[in-house]
Every structure is written in C-alpha cells, then in structure tokens.
C-alpha cells in the first residue's frame, strides 16, 4: 500500500510538471509573437498599437443597447389604425397600451365579490 501511495504522488507530480511546462511554453510563445510584432512595427516605422485597441474595434459593448433601442416598435401609421379598426382590433401594441386603458377594456374576466378569507 505505501508503494501505491508513492506511485500516485509521483504520477501527480509529473502531471503538474507537464502542466507547468506547457504553461511556460504558451507564455514564451505569446511573448515571442508580441516581440516579433513589436520589432516589425519598429522596422516599418509604424507605432505599435496595443492588442486591446486592435481587437477593440470589432466589439463594442454599447452596440447591444443600440440594437434593442432601434428595435422599439414604431408608432402605427394612419393606414395601420384604419386596418386595425376594420378588423375590430386595436392598432397599438399591448405594450404601448399598458396603464392607458380603462377598466371596461377587459372582456374575458368576470368580476366576483371578494371572499372573506385572507
């Protein structure tokens, strides 16, 4: 049993070394790419732009809010209102009617007296 414990620890230690070595290789590779990019920019006489600026032009977090703001339903035109009235419907969306309608608008609910139970 003590030999099995030693073998397990040794295998886990080797796996940790392999992981650390692969992480070090990845960092060195990233540093080499960054260094080549820096050297090429200096050689060509261009300023070195950071990667955040390079990748930042493709993704703007504010664009999501603009997309939903632009998707807001437009006010119905006169033709929409006439067509809706001809069908017996409301030309406005239900979202636009929230809080504007009277109590008589509800047709599918029957009023019941309040029960004495709380």
Q: What is the model's pTM?
A: 0.42
Cα gap 2→28, rounded to integer Å = 39
- The pLDDT tens digits for 37-57 are 999 998 999 888 777 655 556
Residue 53: which of 41, 68, 64 has the closest Cα?
41
pLDDT (tens digit, 9 = 90+) per residue, 96-107? 555 555 555 667
SS3 48: coil
Domain residue ranges in the chain: 10-51
């Amino acid at each position: 049993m003590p030999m099995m414990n030693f073998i397990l620890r040794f295998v886990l230690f080797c796996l940790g070394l392999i992981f650390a070595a692969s992480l070090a290789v990845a960092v060195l590779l990233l540093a080499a790419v960054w260094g080549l990019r820096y050297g090429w920019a200096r050689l060509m006489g261009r300023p070195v732009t950071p990667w955040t600026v390079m990748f930042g032009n493709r993704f703007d977090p504010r664009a999501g809010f603009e997309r939903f703001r632009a998707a807001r339903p437009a006010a119905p035109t006169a033709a929409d209102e006439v067509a809706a009235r001809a069908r017996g419907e409301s030309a406005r969306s239900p979202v636009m009617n929230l809080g504007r309608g009277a109590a008589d608008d509800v047709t599918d609910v029957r009023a019941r007296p309040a029960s004495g139970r709380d």
